[in-house]
Amino acid sequence: MSGYSCRCMDRLITPGCSVNGNVVNLKAPRSWKELTQRQLRYVFFLLSHFQTMEEVKTYMLLRFTGIKVVRKTPSGVYGYIRNNGRGKRHYFELKTWQIQSLIHQFDYIDSYDDMGVRLDRIRGYRAVDVIMREVAFIDYLNMERLYQLFISTKERKHIDNLACLLYRDKKGNPAKIKLDETEEVAVLYWFGYVKAFFGKMFPHFFKPATGNEQGRVNFLKIANAQLRVLTDGDVTKEKTVEQIPCLRALTELNEKAREAEEFKRKYNK
């Protein structure tokens, strides 16, 4: 910087900045879980409106640290901050290479695998548990079906329908909402995280598709096969199984898959 030195704070969560002598301390969240709900929504807004992660991270840097850009310069930008958002303006130049270095603090948004958060509310509806602890197995199956329909067709109505299961009213009934672009990204990132989480938690049941299997997945057949496993083929138990919390159902399916793998290794050498 011109006139000031700059360092990003590693362990501070509260966004903003402070000035101590000629040192500007920039503070910003370093993980998904450190983002406030307002910050999280802002990140999803950026992801829905900009083409590159570099643009998204640059806006995150400016917004979360409180940097106000006055003008561009040949070597970067000229702007100012206020100490903790208040008081006197402190002007400085931020070089392009410094911006490129600082935005690596936000590399966590490159992946949702470890996200562990979601928008708590959309349009007044409250989100279910972030890893769906109490979500009925049948609702999870329908969520997966809708997610796969969107992936295959790119029709946005499927994201709306997915969101209606992820968000509930005060009585626990599915929401009735139509999402904007920011909320669509939020829903897709959340369910993508859930799928990644389940893949780690239930590695025997969730197996990556092979080259021959990719693009040929029939989710209805998979769902019916899962229900048959859990009911032992007894159709009278199907309604009961459908209402089992999905984590409990997936735990059982994972255990059955593990047992099947052991049997195959033991007897199909």
Query: pLDDT tens digits for 70-106?
Result: 999 999 999 998 876 677 888 888 999 999 999 999 9
- In this structure, the number of other CB atoms found within 10 A of the CB of residue 9 comes to 16
What's the pLDDT at 14? 41
**Cα–Cα distance measured from residue 20 to residue 44, given in angstroms and rounded to the nearest whole number:** 33
Q: What percent of the chain has pLDDT over 70?
A: 86
Element housing 208 (H / E):
none
Query: Are the CB atoms for 189 and 115 separated by under 8 Å?
Result: yes
**Cα–Cα distance measured from residue 191 to residue 181, given in angstroms and rounded to the nearest whole number:** 16
Return the structure tokens found at 180. 């904007």
In three-state secondary structure terms, 70 is: strand
Q: Give the closest residue to 223 by CA, choosing from 136, 142, 120.
A: 142
- In this structure, the number of other CB atoms found within 10 A of the CB of residue 66 comes to 21
Dihedral over Cα of 50, 188, 45, 133: its sign: negative
Return the structure tokens found at 69. 């850009």
For residue 112, pLDDT over 70 is answered with yes
- Max mean pLDDT among 169-173, 237-241, 254-258 falls in 169-173
AA letter at 189: Y
Give the start-to-end residue ranges of the domains of the chain: 5-110, 121-267
Average pLDDT on 20-28 reads 73
Task: Determine the length of the chain.
Answer: 269
Query: Are the CB atoms for 68 and 103 separated by under 8 Å?
Result: no
Return the structure tokens found at 171. 């009585």
Average pLDDT on 241-252 reads 93
Using the CB atoms, write b or e for 207-231: b if 16+ within 10 Å.
Answer: eeeeeeeeeeeebeeebeebbebbb
In three-state secondary structure terms, 211 is: coil
Backbone angles phi, psi at 114, to 5 degrees: -115, 25
What's the pLDDT at 234? 83
Report the predicted TM-score, pTM, of the whole model to 2 decimal places.
0.86
What's the pLDDT at 217? 58
What's the pLDDT at 210? 57
Average pLDDT on 140-146 reads 94
